Amino acid sequence: MVTTKRRIIINTFGSFGDVHPYLSLALELQSRGHDPVIATMEYYREKIQAAGLPFIPVRPNIAQPKEQDQEMINKIMEPKTGAKFLTEEVIFPAVRESYTDLLAAIEGADLLITHPAAPAGPLVGRKSGIPWISTVLAPLSFFFSL
């Protein structure tokens, strides 16, 4: 039983494989009496709201693979340069917009939880002083932080 209801902003980015774990976390937090809010790409609004959770859009707004042109998919999936393309051409150019959106989203929040591919999260956490939790979805990610 929760004695103090907390507003928790969960900032995620990526595919359904990235969003689903945070959706589950938010539903569990909600069942424990908290007020979780998912802050992510506009594409997921309908799914998140259908699950009974509040949603706040955070840029960039990237179409899902089946809605992307083949050239974009090929660039992202290219084994040697795909990750570089995704970070340098898609994610990082939108950090300013993501930061602005997320900074507005945390107003009145008690906690910020971030996905590893949402680079504005740590910046917002540090600048605002809000308690912040960084998460890792894949164990291999631990090796990149060494």
pLDDT digits (tens, 9 = 90+) for 94-107: 999 999 999 999 99
* 12 lies in some domain: yes
The answer as to whether 2 is a domain residue is: no
The CA-based diameter of the chain, rounded to the nearest angstrom, is 52
Compute the 3-state secondary structure of the chain and give helix, strand, coil in percent, each to the nearest 5: 50, 15, 35
Count of structural domains within the chain? 1
- Structural domain contains residue 1: no
Give the tens place of pLDDT for each residue, 26-79: 999 999 999 999 999 999 999 999 999 999 999 988 776 667 778 888 888 899
**Gap between the Cα atoms of 115 and 3, Å rounded:** 27
Please give the residue range of the domain that contains residue 56: 7-144
Backbone angles phi, psi at 37, to 5 degrees: -130, 130
Domain with residue 82: its CATH number is 3.40.50.2000
pTM surpassing 0.75?
Answer: yes
56's tokens = 């706040």
